[in-house]
Amino acid sequence: MAKTGKRLAKSYDNFDRDSFYEVDQAVTIAKENATAKFDESIEIAMNLGVDPRHADQMVRGVVALPHGTGKSVRVAVFARDAKAEEATAAGADVVGAEDLMTEVQNGRMDFDRVIATPDMMAVVGRLGKVLGPRGLMPNPKLGTVTADVKGAVEAAKAGQVEFRVEKAGIVHAGIGKASFSAEQLIDNARAFLDAIQKAKPTGAKGTYIKKVSVSSTQGPGVKIETSNLGTPA
């Protein structure tokens, strides 16, 4: 059995691990327990009552967090000519067409988001086996296949978060840094929870949101009371 470190053990004394807290309380507790020597990320994890192996139970989407994530997002854009120039001007870190495809095939993966113009999907499609498993494949439903390159790049840079449920029904995301104010983290947490509620698939049966917890990178998980989450705004 893994031994609990002194710092983590001390944090357990600050709250009741078996209790369920309102969103505001849970986020505040997680922030207060982020006592590592670096600026820890604050993360939220949810256990959903879905089986993503079925298409009508897939939960996937994007959400713009009001206060961003606190992380620097590297964006790659597949575009040509004027759209390539637009992407560069908007702050994209990597821009290209067939040349970028070749770089990716050769192992270049130093980016966190991939955006493509519609005319580039024939090229990007060849990278499905590389980008797909990493959750980087551009998708029109997520706004990452678009002619509005400027808007997509700016949204990604501003803290737009993609989410996708995993095999066990788990979906998680970073909602900020411990250095954020409690109010900023709470706003971000509520925005993420709202997005998950709105993304409820038609095939979901029974309890949709089963469990929710929030934690810092090296801190303990704090359980959130799900019965009071309400319906999406």
Last residue of a domain, one of 158, 181, 202: 158
How many domains are there within the chain?
2
Q: Are residues 32 and 44 in the same domain?
A: yes
Q: Are residues 82 and 153 in the same domain?
A: yes
Q: Write down the pLDDT at residue 1.
A: 43
**Under 8 Å between Cβ of 174 and 71:** yes
Domain-located, residue 176: yes
Q: What are the pLDDT tens digits along the chain (233 aa)?
A: 455 556 555 665 667 888 999 999 999 999 999 999 999 999 999 999 999 999 999 999 999 999 999 988 999 999 999 999 999 999 999 999 999 999 999 999 999 999 999 999 999 999 999 999 988 999 998 999 999 999 999 999 998 999 999 988 999 999 999 999 999 999 999 999 999 999 999 988 889 999 999 999 999 999 999 987 754 44
Domain-located, residue 142: yes
Separation of alpha carbons 138 and 105, rounded Å: 16
Separation of alpha carbons 216 and 221, rounded Å: 8
Q: Are residues 154 and 165 in the same domain?
A: no
- Number of C-beta neighbours around residue 93 at 10 A: 18
Q: Are residues 139 and 172 in the same domain?
A: no
Domain-located, residue 10: no
Q: Are residues 128 and 84 in the same domain?
A: yes
Q: Write down the pLDDT at residue 176.
A: 96
Find tokens 């992407």 and name the residue: 87
Last residue of a domain, one of 130, 158, 186: 158
The per-residue pLDDT for range 163-215, each reduced to its tens digit, is: 999 988 999 999 999 999 999 999 999 999 999 999 999 988 889 999 999 99
Domain-located, residue 198: yes
Q: Write down the pLDDT at residue 5.
A: 59
Last residue of a domain, one of 158, 175, 203: 158
Among 62, 57, 16, CA closest to 161: 62
Q: Are residues 93 and 133 in the same domain?
A: yes
Structural domain including 147 reads 75-158
Q: Are residues 82 and 151 in the same domain?
A: yes
